[in-house]
Amino acid sequence: MASVAYFRFYAELNDFLPPAKKQVTFACFFSGSPAVKDLIESLGIPHTEVDLILVNGESVDFSCRISGGEQVSVYPVFESLDISAILQVRPEPLREPRFILDTHLGRLASYLRMLGFDALYRNDYTDQALAEISANEHRILLTRDRGLLKRSLVTHGYLIRYQHPRQQLEEVISRFDLYNLVKPFSRCMQCNGLLDRVSLQEVRSRVPKRVRENCTQFSRCQGCSQVYWKGTHYQEMVNFIEGLFENNSRGNNNQWRHRQENI
């Protein structure tokens, strides 16, 4: 015999629901006594998007069984509200945000690296590999594939809503509140390796004569040995990053300017 529970989803979790179920309480029919996680996913919401579940006003974790008649409120990851007093369904938040990106997000990976974030990306990772690496290395899985986030192995993931890489970058920075963690030009955009400051002598043979005459600061990737200097693209990237901060009221532009001086 079918049972019924009453669900209400909050804030951007409504993105995943059909119009008739957005921003309202609706009935969900089921049989047996499934875990609340399974019911939420059956309604189309990846569990990685969920941070707090209340059943009849009490906070519960994903394994809570629903048997019928309950009122279930489901909330997304909060950035600004302090809900630490109530139980969060996810394990401890990841202390240092590290990412792995699916095969369609190459440009976003480069942008994240440009801002100094650890962003693992290869264009030949399988879905299984992405899920395993995310779990084993505690990396947040970024993807536009809802199905990938439904894999139970994935505990930290985020569904990218935007299509344009620049907007995707703003989305990630804002969603994970990364503004204060930006360390521009500290990581290789090609391979995700960290950059070391090196002297001109160490890289002289790999730098064009024109650059040797005009640039004084050089870095080299620990991973692929690519050499970087403040060339013509540098100012474009600085403008790009400044734009990112200006678009966001929470971004502290003075802080970024200060940090820029230390690059």
Summarize as ranges the residues that interact with Zn ion (CB under 5 A).
188, 190-191, 193, 221, 223-224, 226
- DSSP code of 193? P
Q: How far apart are CA 77 and CA 110, in angstroms?
A: 25
Q: Which is nearer to Zn ion, 155 or 226 (CB)?
A: 226
* Minimum distance from residue 174 beta carbon to Zn ion (Å): 27
CB of 188 to Zn ion, least distance (A): 3
Secondary structure letter of residue 82 according to DSSP: -
Q: End-to-end alpha-carbon separation of the chain, Å?
A: 65
**Cβ distance to Zn ion smaller for residue 48 or 192:** 192
- Give the DSSP letter string of 83-145: -TTSPPSSSS--SS-EEEE-TT-HHHHHHHHHTT-EEE--TT--HHHHHHHHHHTT-EEEES-
Nearer to Zn ion, 149 or 188 (CB): 188
Tell me the closest approach of the beta carbon of residue 200 to Zn ion, in angstroms. Answer: 19
What's the min distance (Å) between Cβ of 119 and Zn ion? 12
Radius of gyration of the chain (CA): 22
226 or 260: CB nearest Zn ion: 226
